Amino acid sequence: MPHYLVILLLVGVVSVFIPKNRMVYWWTSAIFFALMYSALFLMGCLGSVSLTYNWQAIPNIPIAISFVPEYFGRCACLGVLLLSFFAIYYNIILKKEERPNAINGLVLLNCVFVISALLSPNYIQLLAAVGMSDVIVFSAINQLDAKKQYIYGNFFADFILLNTFALIFVQSDSIIISDFGSASKQWSHRDFIAIMLLLCIFIKSGIVMFHTAYQKMSSLNYNRLNFILYATTPLMGAIIFENIKDIFIISAYSYPLLKIFSVLTVLSALVGALCVDNIKRKTVYLSMMFWGLIFIGYAWQISTFNPKFYVLLLSAFLFNNSLMLVYKAASDEVLVSRMGGFLKSLKFTFFINVISVILYAVTWWMYAQKSIPYAVIGLLVISVVSAHIFSEVYLSQSKADEWVLARLKNPLFLLWLPIILIVSIILYVKSNDWQYIYGFAVFWMLLFIFHPFRKLSVLYQYDSLQKLDKVTWIYNFFILAPLRFFGRVLRLIVDFVFIERTLIASIKNAIRFAIFIFKKLHGKNIWGHLIFVIMGVAIVVIAYYKGVMQ
């Protein structure tokens, strides 16, 4: 039977090139069949899941593109498949895409490259998977400013990753990732290698100071944005870290830097999610909060990249999509300040939002329970942010216009069906812990009703605060402005003083002197004729000796 990755790759490539709005439902059925076929393959129902291809990309260096998942690898691949399934599902149900087949094909291709990165035995396969995933995401972004911001950052990150791996190869003479741990203690420039790799991961995952590219994507279609935030480049950053984590022990700066940036990411995301008015930008901050919490676990070596992570990842994706239900119910209104008082009309949507929070909290506890302080901090952050957002939407004084209020309705059941299904499965698995789940629900409802951060809604009216991007301001003030200043100074020195005043003036004077000489030679006097006669005789003599005598 054809390997599942071959099927996914072929269906994804064909989907991208299917003409606009042709055979949407038929081809969507083919896409879902490919995902189902892949899932059965990974569960061992259709044959061996192993695949190895010898790629002769570099002379004298054998490169094996290998997909040989163990049990945890199979679970991770199934998690990526399920996440891709829901991303495609929402694309079809929402009917917001002009070319649904194309975006669904990009989701499939991204799935292939994420699995390739997950199962990479060597860094050549890892580099290829990361680079191809960047191309897929770049194609999925349909806003010019977001495209530019994304590709600048990720091109720089890929450049760092490539050159750092080249430096590692020069010292270890191996491309096998598993060899790094034993060989890394003898490397030179260990601090530089570790910090450069961390910088690449920070850019990929949108850690604070490197999250501007994702903020620029807030104008994208909601599900497209959610797919990018949870299933593409940020996930690749976490995968890179997991694959090469043994390298970071060679530097005393790696884990302190990771601790600082991961904590700052969670704090920054917490402030943004509480204070920003735009619900899509809140979604970006919620994604930052998620990845910040994950990297806190890595920084303190509490959590690992186990199968529970992918259940948590899917829960975070569905929680953010539950915010989309509010957005849809409010006729695509993006400003929370123009909502409020929706509980009377959207009781069922509120119920879906609540169980999505419970799903997020339960899966977070499953993932982080090895460290009780870590798990509790995550629960508090998730509870505070979600309760605040939903209190603003459902309990605060209504500021919605008549158009939104008149059209309020619970979204189509197909939009909330995935949340109900996943919640049912998770709660069935955790049925013995119902008392803890009930206690969390009571705690969350108290936060929701009393709304302790209600006064922060005053900040919604300050446009300068809502539009201000601190990272862009820092970049413009501390990097771009000095570069422009030095560029101006160099232009004045080089262009005006050296080129214009010195070089061009000297050439001008030389040409003027030559013109003066030639005018004198062509004047009506005997000296000019004599000089030309002498020059002619000299040319004849030189030609004679150079040509005839030699």
Q: Which whole-number Å values give the CA distances from 75 to 118, 157, 238, 305, 308, in the listed order?
A: 11, 28, 16, 11, 9
Structure tokens at 240: 């890179």
340, 399 contact by CB (below 8 A):
yes
Structure tokens at 405: 């209020």
String of DSSP letters for 374-393: HHHHHHHHHHHHHHHHHHHH
pLDDT at 27: 83
Give the burial class of 295: count Cβ atoms within 10 A of its Cβ; 0-12 exposed, 13-18 middle, 19 or more buried. buried
Residue that the structure tokens 């922060």 belong to:
456
Residue that the structure tokens 């160099």 belong to:
490
Give the global pTM: 0.85
pLDDT at 473: 65
d(CA 271, CA 262): 14
Element (H, E) at 56: strand 51-58
293, 312 contact by CB (below 8 A):
no
Torsion of CA 439, 440, 444, 447, to 10 degrees: 70
d(CA 27, CA 21): 10
Print pLDDT tens along the chain (550 aa).
468 888 899 999 988 887 666 677 788 888 999 999 899 888 877 777 777 777 766 666 777 777 888 888 888 999 999 999 999 999 888 877 778 888 999 999 999 999 999 988 888 889 999 999 999 999 999 888 888 889 888 888 999 999 998 888 888 878 888 777 666 677 778 889 999 999 999 999 989 888 888 888 988 888 899 999 999 999 999 999 998 888 888 888 999 999 999 999 999 999 889 988 889 999 999 999 999 999 999 999 887 788 899 999 999 999 999 998 888 888 888 888 888 889 888 999 999 999 999 999 999 999 998 899 999 999 999 999 999 999 999 998 888 888 888 888 888 888 888 888 898 888 888 878 888 889 999 999 999 999 888 888 888 777 766 665 666 666 666 666 776 777 677 766 666 666 666 767 777 777 877 777 777 666 666 666 777 777 778 887 777 777 666 5
CA atoms within a 13 Å half-sphere pointing along the CA-CB vector of 41: 23
d(CA 231, CA 224): 10
Instruction: Please enumerate, as own/partner, the contacts of 218-221 that have beta carbons within 8 Å and a separation of 24 or more.
Output: 218/278, 218/280, 218/281, 218/283, 218/284, 219/143, 219/146, 219/280, 220/141, 220/142, 220/143, 220/146, 220/280, 221/94, 221/96, 221/97
pLDDT at 170: 82
Beta strands in 142-256 (DSSP E): none
SS3 state of residue 174: coil
- Please, what sign has the CA dihedral across residues 276, 281, 283, 288? negative
430, 437 contact by CB (below 8 A):
yes
CA atoms within a 13 Å half-sphere pointing along the CA-CB vector of 51: 17
String of DSSP letters for 184-213: GGG-SSHHHHHHHHHHHHHHHHT-TTS-HH
85, 418 contact by CB (below 8 A):
no
Structure tokens at 455: 């006064």
> Phi and psi at residue 144, in whole multiples of 5°?
-60, -45
Structure tokens at 48: 């061996």
**Please, which residues have CB within 8 angstroms of residue 256's CB and are 6 or more apart in sequence?**
none
Comparing CA positions, the residue from 394, 234, 402, 380 lying closest to residue 322 is 394
133, 205 contact by CB (below 8 A):
no
Amino acid, single-letter form, for residue 430: K
pLDDT at 42: 86
